[in-house]
Chain A
Amino acid sequence: MVLIRATDDRCLSLQRQGRIGFYAPLSGQEAAQIGSAAAMEANDWVFPSYRELAVALYRGVSLPEIFHQLVGDSKDPTKGRQMPNHFAFRDQHFVSASSPIGTQISQAVGAAIAARYRKDPIAVIAYFGDGATSSNDFHAGLNFAGVFAAPVVFFCENNEYAISLPRDRQTKSATLAEKAAAYGFPGVVVDGNDLDAVYVAVREARRRALSGGGPTLIEAQVYRFGPHTTSDDPRRYRSQQEVEAAKKDDPLLKLKSLLLQSGQLTEAGDAAIWEDAKAAVGQALAEAERTPPVDPHTLLEDVFQSPTPRLVLERAELDLFLGEGVSKP
């Protein structure tokens, strides 16, 4: 969790320095992401939004791989095709994220139905925010999941804001979790700053999913400490006072005090963890910045399995263009 916070801190300043183009911070959501990721198994599938950097890391993606994507260099597994934070890591069953809100929810249901059809003993988890509960695919996905008793866990990180819109302008419902009742399955509210509570809730939802009990909607209540993305200025829509109040429940502080109390951590140990984390971030960034940029010829790859005649013609056009130096990459 410290590593994630250190990544967030660094990336916000990297964006301001122009070294990465964009960043979607997750500070305040670390316990929700790590607790839920820990409750799932390596063979389970994850359908993330663009804010699930911590989930990717927990599932075994390395920090340098993360930074290759953030920088968009030639070692980026997504080949520089997407904005930062829109990860895809096949080996970790971390499905490609997109920018449209909520579309991954019904997709997760399809994957869950497919896994059950194949008799694979796995579950699927879909991540989304509070704003996504207003989307078409939240309704469609939860409705389908209920009808088909799909082995899926819906994990909503309610961080109180969809860009500028507070949670109470998103829905009249008292909680987001209660929406599950309309779809015929349980909805659970959990303190997203409590690592153990999140783990227990997701673990139980996973067990239900795999035992044929169907889906669960979990609302992890958190607070987005930072901006929606680096393109957002939250001072326009919320007070610093409100942010400071929320930071009293910082999941990192909560975990730290728990570990200090139980004697599993010392202040010196905590400081060392922070130093290690900052060093790891620095190394991963340096590695990404040393890596050559994306080869412009990859522009036309992966549209289809093999290029159509039209794309072959366009490749020739591109080669000519690049070769003659008309356009420098």
Chain B
Amino acid sequence: MTELTLVQGINRALLEAMRSDPDVLVLGEDVGVNGGVFRATEGLFKEFGADRVIDTPLSETGIIGTAIGMALYGLKPVAEIQFTDFIYPAYDQIVSELAKFRYRSGGQYPCHVVIRAPYGGGVKGGLYHSQSNEAYFCHTSGLKVVVPSTPADAKGLLLTAIHDEDPVMFFEPKRIYRAVTGEVPDGDHRVPFGKLRIAREGTDVSLFAYGAMIPPALEAAERLSAEGIQAEVIDVRSLVPLDEEGIVASVEKTGRAVIVHEAPRFCGFGAELAALLAERAFYSLKAPVARVTGFDTPFPYALEHVYLPDAERIAHAARTSVKAG
């Protein structure tokens, strides 16, 4: 075990994967000599050189198109999109190409690319350095989508992603890159996809969150506990594949669900969770499913503290749910 920040967990996963497998390489903007604008790839260039830690021209479609070609050839590229807000030029490559290669070729051409993309607000990044666009990718069949919230999961989920056989969107909560520290297992620590993490056990209401919304959800649970409400905090962490059994099981226990994400509410990932609960946990629900999310606006600059869900908004929704029935 080593005490690391979340971004160090990511760095450690890349380092260990590259040491153990020469097919693993990293490409993106400023990932080499500079070590990445968030320092996620720090030290890799020095150890592995320019052929494996590739500074690319400024073109997201070029980065992902190139990574796809590498993966088709048999390498295991880990592409960094500097901010997920800038991923859209590569959207065609991700949605039309990466996600569909295995299917459209009848299984002849699997295409395993890991795309790392820092996401989310709370860093005074305004419209274009703050977005949570995970739902676009969850809606695309053929992509796996994961979001860590702890240093151990950052390392463990990324190692699983790198050794997976399918394309993986790996969204990194940049707001808590350094704000969160924790013990991280040494060596080949892998966290399986499709399994949620119970961040805090509780009996009265389930708070579903992921990424940078885990700390405020835990803070909300702490406040609620003082009021006699025991909230269960579920770190969904694997959006695709989703731990549907685990989600349903939590609500069967608590009877109440509050879903939290930074992204706008309308057609956000929470809508899928709410639909799942309506389909499979309807008779366990004692209160309507609540969503605490970003507003249905573009991401604001000056008012981001108002836009983003915080512990009080989450706690308020949980109290309302408990009062409802």
Q: How many residues of chain A get a CB closer than 8 Å to chain B's CBs? A: 48
B240 at the interface (CB under 8 A from A): yes
Question: Cβ of A112: which chain B residues have Cβ within 8 Å of it?
Answer: 69
A144 at the interface (CB under 8 A from B): yes
Tell me, in angstroms, the Cα distance from A302 to B165 when the chains sit together: 11
A107 pairs with B97, CB closer than 8 A: yes
A309 pairs with B244, CB closer than 8 A: yes
Question: Cβ of A73: which chain B residues have Cβ within 8 Å of it?
Answer: none
Q: A106-B65, A114-B69, A302-B102 are in contact. List 12 more A-B contacts (CB 8 A).
A: A76-B106, A90-B109, A96-B109, A103-B92, A106-B69, A110-B65, A111-B69, A117-B25, A140-B59, A144-B62, A304-B142, A304-B166
List the one stretch of B70-78, B147-155, B229-237, B254-262 in contact with chain A.
B70-78
Q: Distance (Å) between the CB of B289 and the closest chain A CB?
A: 19
Question: Cβ of A308: which chain B residues have Cβ within 8 Å of it?
Answer: 194, 240-242
Tell me, in angstroms, the Cα distance from A81 to B25 when the chains sit together: 31
Given the interface contacts A100-B92, A105-B65, A106-B61, does A95 sit within 8 Å of B104 by beta carbon?
A: no
B101 at the interface (CB under 8 A from A): yes
Tell me, in angstroms, the Cα distance from A303 to B100 when the chains sit together: 8
What are 17 of the A-B contact pairs (CB < 8 Å)? A77-B108, A98-B104, A100-B92, A106-B62, A106-B68, A107-B66, A107-B68, A111-B69, A113-B69, A117-B75, A118-B73, A139-B59, A143-B62, A148-B54, A303-B102, A304-B165, A305-B102
Question: Cβ of B96: which chain A residues have Cβ within 8 Å of it?
Answer: 98, 100, 103
Question: Cβ of A103: which chain B residues have Cβ within 8 Å of it?
Answer: 65, 92-93, 96-97
Binding site for B on A (CB under 8 A): 45, 47, 76-79, 81-82, 86, 88-90, 95-96, 98, 100, 103, 105-115, 117-118, 124, 136-137, 139-141, 143-144, 147-148, 301-305, 308-310
A96 pairs with B104, CB closer than 8 A: yes
Tell me, in angstroms, the Cα distance from A309 to B245 when the chains sit together: 9
Tell me, in angstroms, the Cα distance from A182 to B61 when the chains sit together: 19
Q: Distance (Å) between the CB of B178 and the closest chain A CB?
A: 32
Residue of B with least CB distance to A101: B92
B187 at the interface (CB under 8 A from A): no
Residue of B with least CB distance to A116: B51
B300 at the interface (CB under 8 A from A): no
Question: Cβ of A117: which chain B residues have Cβ within 8 Å of it?
Answer: 25, 51, 75
Question: Cβ of A108: which chain B residues have Cβ within 8 Å of it?
Answer: 69
Q: Max chain A CB contacts within 10 Å: which of B67, B104, B165, B166? A: B104
Question: Cβ of A77: which chain B residues have Cβ within 8 Å of it?
Answer: 105-106, 108
Question: Cβ of B266: which chain A residues have Cβ within 8 Å of it?
Answer: none
Question: Cβ of A310: which chain B residues have Cβ within 8 Å of it?
Answer: 241-242, 244
B89 at the interface (CB under 8 A from A): yes
Given the interface contacts A115-B73, A309-B245, does A100 sit within 8 Å of B62 by beta carbon?
A: no
Tell me, in angstroms, the Cα distance from A275 to B37 when the chains sit together: 65
Residue of B with least CB distance to A114: B73
- Contact partner of A309 (CB less than 8 A), chosen from B77, B92, B142, B194, is B194
B65 pairs with A141, CB closer than 8 A: yes
Q: Distance (Å) between the CB of B18 and the closest chain A CB?
A: 13
B174 at the interface (CB under 8 A from A): no
Question: Cβ of A305: which chain B residues have Cβ within 8 Å of it?
Answer: 102, 110, 164-166
Quick one: which of B242-269 are within 8 Å of A by CB? 242, 244-245
Q: Max chain B CB contacts within 10 Å: which of A90, A124, A139, A303? A: A303
Residue of B with least CB distance to A91: B108
Question: Cβ of B164: which chain A residues have Cβ within 8 Å of it?
Answer: 305
Tell me, in angstroms, the Cα distance from A124 to B57 when the chains sit together: 21
Question: Cβ of B110: which chain A residues have Cβ within 8 Å of it?
Answer: 305
- Contact partner of B67 (CB less than 8 A), chosen from A45, A110, A137, A147, is A110
Tell me, in angstroms, the Cα distance from A118 to B72 when the chains sit together: 13
Tell me, in angstroms, the Cα distance from A115 to B51 when the chains sit together: 12
- Contact partner of B56 (CB less than 8 A), chosen from A86, A124, A136, A144, is A144
Question: Cβ of B68: which chain A residues have Cβ within 8 Å of it?
Answer: 106-107, 110
- Contact partner of A302 (CB less than 8 A), chosen from B66, B93, B107, is B107
Tell me, in angstroms, the Cα distance from A76 to B245 when the chains sit together: 37
Question: Cβ of A118: which chain B residues have Cβ within 8 Å of it?
Answer: 73-75
B66 pairs with A109, CB closer than 8 A: yes
A143 pairs with B166, CB closer than 8 A: no
B141 at the interface (CB under 8 A from A): yes
Question: Cβ of A47: which chain B residues have Cβ within 8 Å of it?
Answer: 69
